[in-house]
Structure 1
C-alpha cells in the first residue's frame, strides 16, 4: 500500500525509563507515526470517515506516552503501534519514539526506537 498518513514531532511529557528519577521527574518524548492505508475513498468522497483521523491518532499516542510509565521506549512504541493497528483498514504502521533527554553522559542529539507492525 503506497498511501499513507504521517504525523511527526508530537511532543508529550511522559515518565518512561529504567531509572527512578526518569519516572519521578519525567521528560518530553517525541513521537512520529506513519500509517499505511488505502485513501482512495477519502480522496473520492472528501469524507473524514473514509480516512484515519490524524487528530484522533495524535490523541491516542499522547494518551499512551502521557499515561502508564514503561521502562523501555520500545514498549511505548509497541503499545502505540498495537493500538493504531486495531483499525482494520490499516495495512501497516510505523511508530518512532524519540527520547532526546535520555540519561546518557555524553553529547548526543537523539535516541529513538522505531517499530513497524503490518498485516
Structure 2
C-alpha cells in the first residue's frame, strides 16, 4: 500500500485587533478578528534533518498575517487575498493554502459570534 504525504503547517485561531470594515466607524473603532491559516507543503527534509531551513517557518506565517492585518481595508475579501498572495510567495514547495478570516462580533442588531470569508488555493497539479 502506498500513501501520499501531506504535510501541513498551521496557525489556528490567531486573534488580532484590526481596523477593517465597510463603514467608517468600523475602520475608526476597529475590532477583533480570528484567523486560521493552513499551508500544505513538503517538509520531508525537516523530518530527517531537524533543521528549520528545511520547512516553512510558522513565524513567517504569523508575520505575514500580522503585517497584512495592520493595513485597514473595507472588505475581508481584500485582506484575505493579500494574506494568501503573500504566503504563496514564501516557497515553491507550497501546494495548498487555506485561510479562514473571521470578524468577531460584527456590528449587527443581533448577537452573531462572527462573520467570515474563506479562501482555498491549490496548485493545479496537487491532488487532494
What is the aligned partner in structure 2 of residue 44 from structure 1? Answer: 48
With normalisation by structure 2, the TM-score equals 0.87
Report the Cα distance in structure 1 between the residues aligned to 2:8 and 2:15, rounded to whole angstroms.
21
Would the aligned equivalents of 2:95 and 2:122 in 1 still touch at CA under 8 Å?
Answer: yes
Report the Cα distance in structure 2 between the residues aligned to 1:63 and 1:79, rounded to whole angstroms.
10
Report the Cα distance in structure 2 between the residues aligned to 1:65 and 1:96, rounded to whole angstroms.
13
**Aligned pairs for 1:45-60 within 5 A:** 45-60=49-64
With normalisation by structure 1, the TM-score equals 0.93
**How many residue pairs end up in the alignment?**
118
Q: Which runs of 4+ in 1 moved over 2 A?
A: none
Matched, 1:25 2:29: yes
Matched, 1:103 2:72: no
Report the Cα distance in structure 2 between the residues aligned to 1:2 and 1:34, rounded to whole angstroms.
12
- Which of 2, 7, 11 matches 2:6? 2
Larger-gyration structure (1/2): 2
What is the aligned partner in structure 1 of residue 85 from structure 2? Answer: 82
Report the Cα distance in structure 2 between the residues aligned to 1:96 and 1:77, rounded to whole angstroms.
8
Matched, 1:70 2:85: no
| SS at structure 1 position matched to 2:114 | coil
| SS at structure 1 position matched to 2:72 | coil
Residues 44-103 of structure 1: CA deviation (Å, up to 9, x unaligned)? 11100111110121111011112x211111111111011000121101101111101211
Q: Which has the higher contact order (CA 8 A, sep 6+)?
A: 1
Q: What is the aligned-residue RMSD (CA, Å)?
A: 1.1
Residue segments in structure 2 that go unaligned for 5+ positions in a row: 124-128
